[in-house]
Amino acid sequence: MEGLAATTTAHTGIAPPYWIRMQDASGQTVLSYAVRGGKAKRVLGLLGGACIAAGAWGAYWLLSGGGLTLAGVVLLVLVPGGLVAFGAHCLDTVFWARRDYLLGARGLISRRYSLRGSSIDKEIERSAITGVVQRYTPPGDSEASGSEGTWTTFLAWRRQDGRLDEYPFGGMGSAAEALWLGPIVAGWAGVLIERGRGTMLEQSGSIDSASDD
């Protein structure tokens, strides 16, 4: 456990790709996740632009013929409309979409930002939080050779009716991300981290976490 704790501490200071750790005006910690650059942003940007252009051209081609039949209307909605919608989603992801997690004095507030505006996705009182859970999913048979699988970080909490629930954090699902995210959230909440097994997080069970704030 000591080796894992040391490795964890070494990773908490450097944010993994697409993550930023900052403070709001009141000094509370905010973890922000967004596709802000790199290969993913270039690919999604090009894909989004290409899909919108292809969809617009398809709509023009269908409409320019005149006298659309019912089948033509369905085709107009499904193909060009689908391409434009998917392209807009890609561009939204790289230019506007963002997820902020406020680790506040009263609890967690997850807020989603997009082209359509912003909204609160989840609020969890700090007193209801029971732990941080990180689960490893091995790569599937259909995934590329050399894939390391994914890690998902959950905030475990107890509902008002007494039932236990888990809220997942977004992200890329890498081991480095889990090593960075887990101690920050657990330290803020004052709870333990429960981890599975993986290539970087080799040990399982519960470990103590020191506060980073």
Q: Residue 11 has what pLDDT? A: 43
Number of H helices, E strands in the chain: 4, 10
Which pLDDT score is estimated for 203? Answer: 44
Strand order in the sheet with 205-207: 164-168, 150-158, 129-137, 193-195, 205-207
Tokens at 159, concatenated: 């509902």
Strands 193-195 and 129-137: parallel
At how many degrees (to 10) do helices 2-11 and 175-189 cross? 90
Cβ–Cβ contacts within 10 Å for residue 210, how many? 11
Find the length of the chain. Answer: 213
Task: Compute how many other C-beta atoms are within 10 angstroms of the C-beta atom of residue 48.
Answer: 21
Q: Using 70 as the pLDDT threshold, list the residues of the chain that sit under it.
A: 1-13, 36-42, 44, 61-63, 65-77, 89-96, 141-146, 197-213
Its pTM stands at 0.68
Q: Is domain 2-34+97-207 given the CATH code 1.10.3430 in the classification?
A: no
CA dihedral 199, 38, 90, 140 (to 10 degrees): -20
What one-character-per-residue DSSP string does 77-140 give? HHHHHHHHHHHHHHHHHHHT-EEEEEE-SSEEEEEEEETTEEEEEEEEEGGGEEEEEEEEEPPP
30 in Cβ contact with 23 (< 8 Å): yes
What pLDDT, on a 0 to 100 scale, did the predictor assign at position 212? Answer: 44
What pLDDT is stored for residue 56 in this prediction? 79
Token pair of 64 as six digits: 């320019």
